[in-house]
């Protein structure tokens, strides 16, 4: 994105979006403190979708003079990008990723002019989404934020998202994958694409989102008692889990080491993107959580006849394995990265690799 061209204090600025060639105008409408209170961050109001710099400057001047700006041709995608630009600094990066994932479920409408989209069409996208209650809640919240921005920017006349219905959802079971289930998944490796991903997840205990974010450079090794111990440095959700070391069990070590030599990606468990209607690999990308849940986990478990399980079931399987493993309860807490064992963060992080390996060596 091009740098905004300033026009003097309080007079706004305009810039051209390199990704789509349209012009954007923005003004600062206020200030807020940063998280640590050390500085002030501008609150920006953004107007976009203009074909020329002159149109953007004219719109900016109208806004500054108090006249509304009309955006008759602004698409949902363009509005979303403008909202992102204005809103992204207000929340944590992980929260914003959740908004982006929720927005993707409205992708069938993204090139429509936003002022022609109806509440019924948004509802149809929500009804069609196969994900659970949390995703539907995020879809409604995200749509509400986009339309609230669009109303303020005079892109649409009213918010049509207030009565979107998230639906009735049954509580999804998180019953662990059984030893038999895990053995079936192992036997499918080499036959079903991504089967090794699920198998590795059962022996690492990460949450699905954490698992898909693991990069190759997070795989470390140390020599202890003349033996090389491989582990992954990870943990982002809880204070207890920050920078925890997860020793890689022998059951999956060969799969992990093989994945380190997969070219074309920084991620340990990427998405293989093939050209449409062709079997030719185009590139490797980071796999999204929704894709893993719907097109990997559910598809593979259904093919294998494994019913009633969700990706989080793999983490519960790992927890069950820890219960029956040798070793101190503090070391087990350090491996799984949560506070169920009522210990402090210092205790979690103080577990030496040798003690952690004692636990993982005895996993069934």
List, for residues 164-195, the tens digit of each pLDDT value.
Answer: 998 765 544 468 999 999 999 999 999 999 99
> Is the confidence at residue 91, as pLDDT, over 80?
no
**Quick one: pLDDT at residue 362?**
81
> Is the confidence at residue 215, as pLDDT, over 90?
yes
CATH T-level assignment (fold) for domain 179-361: hpI Integrase; Chain A (1.10.443)
Give the burial class of 142: count Cβ atoms within 10 A of its Cβ; 0-12 exposed, 13-18 middle, 19 or more buried.
Answer: buried
**Quick one: pLDDT at residue 178?**
92
**What is the spatial distance between Cα 334 and Cα 248, in angstroms, rounded to a whole number?**
13
List, for residues 306-364, the tens digit of each pLDDT value.
Answer: 988 889 899 889 988 888 888 878 777 777 775 444 333 333 344 577 878 888 888 88
**Quick one: pLDDT at residue 241?**
42
For 245-269, the DSSP string reads EEEPPHHHHHHHHHHTT-TT-SBSS
Which whole number is the average pLDDT over 118-144? 89
The number of C-alpha atoms within 13 Å of 325 and in the hemisphere containing its C-beta is 27
Cβ contacts of 50-58, under 8 Å, gap ≥ 24: 50/22, 50/23, 50/24, 50/25, 51/22, 51/23, 52/23, 53/14, 53/16, 53/23, 55/23, 56/14, 56/23, 56/24, 56/25, 57/14, 57/25
What tokens appear for 137 in the block? 């809640």
**pTM attached to this predicted model:** 0.55
Q: Which residue has the higher pLDDT, 131 or 122?
A: 122
**Quick one: pLDDT at residue 269?**
96
Q: What is the CATH code for 75-171?
A: 1.10.150.130
Q: pLDDT category, 255, cuts 50, 70, 90?
A: very high
Q: What is the largest CA-CA distance in the chain?
A: 75
């Amino acid at each position: 994105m091009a740098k905004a061209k300033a026009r003097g204090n309080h007079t706004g600025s305009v810039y051209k979006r390199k990704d789509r060639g349209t012009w954007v105008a923005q003004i600062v409408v206020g200030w807020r403190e940063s998280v640590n209170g050390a500085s002030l961050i501008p609150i920006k109001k953004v107007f976009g979708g203009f074909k020329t710099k002159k149109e953007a400057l004219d719109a900016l001047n109208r806004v500054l003079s108090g006249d509304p700006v009309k955006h008759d041709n602004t698409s949902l995608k363009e509005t979303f990008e403008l909202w992102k630009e204005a809103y992204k600094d207000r929340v944590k990066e992980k929260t914003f990723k959740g908004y982006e994932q929720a927005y993707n479920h409205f992708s069938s409408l993204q090139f429509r002019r936003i002022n022609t989209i109806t509440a019924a069409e948004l509802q149809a996208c929500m009804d069609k989404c196969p994900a659970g209650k949390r995703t539907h809640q995020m879809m409604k919240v995200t749509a509400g934020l986009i339309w609230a921005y669009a109303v303020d920017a005079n892109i649409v006349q009213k918010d049509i998202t207030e009565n979107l219905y998230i639906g009735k959802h049954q509580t999804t079971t998180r019953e662990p994958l059984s030893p038999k289930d895990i053995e079936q998944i192992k036997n499918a490796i080499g036959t079903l694409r991504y089967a090794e991903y699920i198998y590795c997840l059962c022996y690492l205990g990460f949450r699905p989102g954490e698992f898909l974010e693991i990069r190759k450079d997070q795989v470390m090794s140390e020599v202890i008692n003349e033996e090389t111990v491989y582990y992954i440095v990870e943990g982002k959700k809880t204070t207890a889990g920050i920078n925890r070391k997860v020793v890689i069990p022998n059951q999956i070590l060969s799969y992990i080491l093989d994945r380190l030599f997969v070219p074309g990606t920084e991620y340990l468990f990427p998405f293989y993107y093939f050209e449409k209607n062709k079997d030719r690999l185009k590139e490797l990308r980071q796999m999204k959580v929704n894709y893993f849940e719907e097109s990997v986990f559910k598809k593979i478990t259904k093919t294998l006849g494994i019913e009633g399980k969700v990706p989080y079931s793999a983490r519960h399987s790992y927890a069950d394995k820890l219960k029956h493993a040798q070793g101190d309860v503090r070391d087990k807490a350090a491996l799984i990265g949560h506070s169920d064992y009522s210990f402090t963060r210092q205790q979690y992080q103080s577990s030496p690799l040798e003690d952690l390996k004692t636990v993982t060596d005895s996993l069934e």
